[in-house]
Amino acid sequence: MKLRTTAPIVLAAALVLTTAACGGGGGSGQPAGDGKSFEFWSFTGINQKRTVEDYKKINPNVQVKLTEVGTSTETAQSLTTALAGGKVPDLVLIQGDNLPQFVQQPQNFQDLRQYGADKIKGDYLDWVMSQATAKTGEIIGIPTDVGGLAVAYRTDLFKKAGLPTDRDEVSKLWPTWDAFIETGKKYTAATGKAFVDNAGTSVFYQAVNQGPQKYHDPSGNVVYSTSPQVKSAFDYALKAIQAGITAKQSSFEENWIAGMSKGDYAVVSAPSWMLNQIRDYAPGLKGKWDIATIPGGAGNWGGSYLAIPKGAANPKAAWDYISTMQSPQNQLAHFLDVGSLPTTPSVYKDPKLLAEKDEFFSDAPIGKIYTDSVLGLKPFLIGPESAAIGQEFLNAITNVEQGKGDPAKAWDTALANIKTAIGK
Amino acid sequence: MPEAEARVRQSLAERVAPYAYIAPFFLLFAVFGLVPLLFTFYVALFDWNPIGEHVFIGFDNFTRLFGDTRFWDAAWNTISIWLLSTVPQLLIALVLAHLLNHARLRLAVFFRMSMLVPYITSVAATTVVFAQMFDRDYGLLNWLLGLFGVGPIDFLQSGWGSHTMIAVMVTWRWFGYTTLLYLASLQAVPRTIYEAASVDGAGAWKQFRHISVPSLRPVIVFTIVTSTIGGLQIFTEPLLVSNTSPLTCGPARHCQTLTLFLYEQGFGQFQFGYGSAIGVALFVLIIAVATLNYVLSTRIRPERG
């Protein structure tokens, strides 16, 4: 009798205690680090595993717990949740488009100046570094790579269409986006097939990343509706759709991958990080791709940063990793190994970089092509709303491309949607 | 220790014990149900950056919400998908349950059990397979239509197409479960009533209409209420059908449901306050629709005379 009545009371009390303990455990204090290990969140498709392995060779007694959280966006989402909840990794990779929302809240991160970031910041491209610097001066990230622009094209399909296949001659076909669209018309007329995969990412997202001003003016005000570069990029995309040269395959969709293998399109705009994706998705096309310069010559899309959250248990171990692996020499080594473009201009003239050829892409000199596109770039400001704005423009273009949106109204629709989305 | 004191303590424990027995549920419900719910109402009054400031703005989120075309579009999509999936699902289940209860089937248990397979299959797997079947370029359905010179139809990019596609997935997943609920309930109906009816000359339809449906009334009300709650919260299917813009279910938000809109605002844009306001609006909508359904469906009454 006694047991039967007291047991539930004890159980209930225990439950109260455990739930209370769960509530309190999250945010309390900083766990003590051991200095010999750190937890590292990265995203898929960027191959940080390789860099971590290299680091372990130099520092065999350091344990790195690497987690590939998901896509770059998913990683940023998990990081936000982790920062709000208090249980954070020691080191995290943040993609450039997601960075501004974190830079605006620098109190969530370690100011890397305390470890000497201001002494090495001169090693990196100025405009890349300034994107990781808060208004109040804190440096919260060190750049790992930039996304110089170029165009990947299929030599075999170009040959069938009677177009030149040599990369210099192909580059000369499209000094401008207008010329790019004209070339596309010739290709489509000759083959009956689409020229480029889609208008949203392969035209708009490239062209919009090529001028001195994108969605924000230099002081951070949103100017997407009046920025001439945005409007012209949008118009190029519509023009490409109306010319009938796009395959209507949105990047990274399954059909985009299937279409790539099947030769449904001959051209993909390829920021430097895209090369790995093409290689992975359609390995059978080795030697059938080559790389030409981007219409307009220069530009940047993407690139990532390493940051250390404020509550990290092993910030020093994480910093040692950053300062070692992101030195100009190691960024060069990483480029030669997996192809992500260094952010350190001192190695851009390095003979090893200039001599680097990519076998998969018909021995294209990717080091030279991509660094040229980054050096010719006019830097622009990326703001916390940039990702949302870009997504709405992309949606409006895709909607026209899929035959559902009215091209004459697309621009106004996009502006209205952006205003609803970001409130300005 | 005096005898009386011990008895008082004993009886106190006995009086508390029942509450302690039910306490685990209510404690867990409070921690994981009630507190988050109340907290959502609270957050909805703020401009809430999860890693930054929380600014009290009163009902501004709601004012903004009611003027937000995306919200009304999402509400319409939700109701449309819910109707397209719930109505056929309940009707199919009703007919199937009636048939399974009556027809002299070989392998009856096999047929009854196999209807649960869609229900126990992972939603993600179902969605991926169906999305592939409805695909514009390489889909099975468009291939079939192509044999008849129709199409290809871009289901995902049109309003009715995407709603139908998602409704088919939802119906597929739930019809077996609902059928079994109806069947279980039908088996409790004495066979003599059906026999008496057929002696009186009632055909299959009349038996279905005047015996099966009225005797299923309580369970029909139950399934209508649960499928309203579930149907208005459809999330996984619309999230997974579009790879390029998953959070909006395609570039033009054709099939973005309210829960997906909530997720986009809360966890895509990290506007926790606005996301919470959407959650509150959804909460009110579900209560309203469920009440309406309850009132309407209680009008199914056994025929008299």
A226-253 pLDDT per residue, tens? 999 999 999 999 999 999 999 998 888 7
Say how many CA atoms lie within 13 Å of A222 toward its Cβ: 16
Q: State how far residue B264 is from chain A, nearest Cα, in angstroms.
A: 11
Work out the average pLDDT over A52-75: 90
Same domain for A104 and A203, yes or no, is no
Same domain for A239 and A270, yes or no, is yes
Residue A31 lies in a domain: no
Same domain for A78 and A208, yes or no, is no
What pLDDT score does A308 carry?
96
CATH code, A206: 3.40.190.10
Q: Pick the residue from chain A with its C-alpha nearest to B241.
A: A253
What pLDDT score does A72 carry?
86
Q: State how far residue B287 is from chain A, nearest Cα, in angstroms.
A: 28
pLDDT above 70: residue A214: yes
- Which has the minimum average pLDDT: A389-398, B81-90, B167-176, B245-254? B245-254
| Chain B from 152 to 171: CB within 8 A of any A CB | 154, 157-158
Q: Are B264 and B256 in contact (CB under 8 A)?
A: yes
Same domain for A259 and A206, yes or no, is yes
B267 contacts in A (CB within 8 Å)?
77, 81
pLDDT above 50: residue A28: no
Q: Are A150 and A291 in contact (CB under 8 A)?
A: yes
What does the DSSP 8-state code read for residue A409?
Answer: H
Residue A423: which of A396, A384, A395, A394 has the closest Cα? A384
Residue A129 lies in a domain: yes
User: Residue A115 belongs to what H/E stretch?
Assistant: none
Residue B229: pLDDT band (50, 70, 90) is confident
Work out the average pLDDT over B92-121: 84
Same domain for A65 and A83, yes or no, is yes
Q: Which one of B138, B160, B244 would you mutate to disrupt binding with A, by most A Cβ within 10 Å of its Cβ?
A: B244
Residue A291 lies in a domain: yes
Whether omega for the bond prior to residue A309 falls within 30 degrees of 0, making it cis, is no
Work out the average pLDDT over A245-262: 88
Task: Say if residue A276 is exposed, middle or buried (CB neighbours under 10 Å; 0-12, 13-18, 19+).
Answer: middle
B270/A80 CB distance under 8 A? yes
d(CA B242, CA B244): 6
Strand partners of residue A341 = A146
A359-378 pLDDT per residue, tens? 999 999 999 999 988 888 87
What pLDDT score does A7 carry?
57
Same domain for A111 and A160, yes or no, is no
pLDDT above 80: residue A305: yes
A120-142 pLDDT per residue, tens? 999 999 889 989 999 899 999 99
What pLDDT score does A327 carry?
94
Same domain for A179 and A57, yes or no, is no
When CB atoms are compared, the residue of A83, A391, A404 closest to B51 is A83
Residue A29 lies in a domain: no
d(CA A225, CA B253): 22
pLDDT above 70: residue A380: yes
- Which has the minimum average pLDDT: A283-297, A379-393, B255-269? A379-393
Give the residue numbers spanning the domain of A94.
37-147+302-353
- Which has the minimum average pLDDT: A141-145, A407-411, B238-242? B238-242
When CB atoms are compared, the residue of B13, B51, B137 closest to A255 is B137
What pLDDT score does A280 carry?
86
What pLDDT score does A117 carry?
92
Residue A2 lies in a domain: no
Q: Pick the residue from chain A with its C-alpha nearest to B12.
A: A5
Helix or strand or coil: residue A64? strand
pLDDT above 50: residue A26: no
Helix or strand or coil: residue A153? strand
Superfamily name with CATH number, domain B62-297? MetI-like (1.10.3720.10)
Q: State how far residue A310 is from chain B, nearest Cα, in angstroms.
A: 12
Residues belonging to chain A with any Cβ–Cβ distance to chain B shorter than 8 Å: 1-2, 4-6, 8-9, 11-12, 15-16, 19, 77, 80-81, 83-84, 101-102, 104-105, 108, 250-255, 258-259, 388, 391, 394-396, 398-399, 402-405, 420-421, 423
pLDDT above 70: residue A11: no
pLDDT above 90: residue B211: no
Work out the average pLDDT over B42-68: 93
What pLDDT score does A290 carry?
95
Same domain for A139 and A237, yes or no, is no
What pLDDT score does A21 carry?
45
3-class SS string, chain B: CCHHHHHHHHHHHHHHHHHHHHHHHHHHHHHHHHHHHHHHHHHCCEEECCCCCEEECCCHHHHHHHCCHHHHHHHHHHHHHHHHHHHHHHHHHHHHHHHHHHCCCCCHHHHHHHCCHHHHCCHHHHHHHHHHHCCCCCCHHHHHHHHCCCCCCCHHHCHHHHHHHHHHHHHHHHHHHHHHHHHHHHCCCCHHHHHHHHHCCCCHHHHHHHHHHHHCHHHHHHHHHHHHHHHCCCCHHHHHHCCCCHHHCCCCCCCCCHHHHHHHHHHHCCCHHHHHHHHHHHHHHHHHHHHHHHHHHCCCCCCCC
Q: Which one of A5, A83, A103 would you mutate to disrupt binding with B, by most B Cβ within 10 Å of its Cβ?
A: A5
- Chosen domain end from A324, A353, A382: A353
What pLDDT score does A24 carry?
39
**Percentage of the residues of chain A whose pLDDT score is greater than 70:** 92
What average pLDDT does the structure give for chain A? 88
What pLDDT score does A14 carry?
57
Cβ neighbours for B27, distance < 8 A, ≥ 6 positions apart: A12, A15, A16, A19
Same domain for A199 and A91, yes or no, is no
What pLDDT score does B243 carry?
74
What pLDDT score does A36 carry?
80
Residue A8: pLDDT band (50, 70, 90) is low
Q: Which one of B28, B35, B137 would you mutate to disrupt binding with A, by most A Cβ within 10 Å of its Cβ?
A: B137
What pLDDT score does B1 carry?
53
What does the DSSP 8-state code read for residue A293?
Answer: P
What pLDDT score does A122 carry?
92
Instruction: Locate B226 and state its tokens.
Output: 């649960």
Total domains in the fold of chain A = 2
What pLDDT score does A20 carry?
47
Say how many CA atoms lie within 13 Å of B231 toward its Cβ: 32
What pLDDT score does A309 carry?
96
Residue A17: pLDDT band (50, 70, 90) is low
CATH 1.10.3720.10 residue window(s) in chain B: 62-297
- What is the interface pTM, i.e. ipTM, of the complex? 0.76
A339-361 pLDDT per residue, tens? 789 999 999 999 999 999 999 99
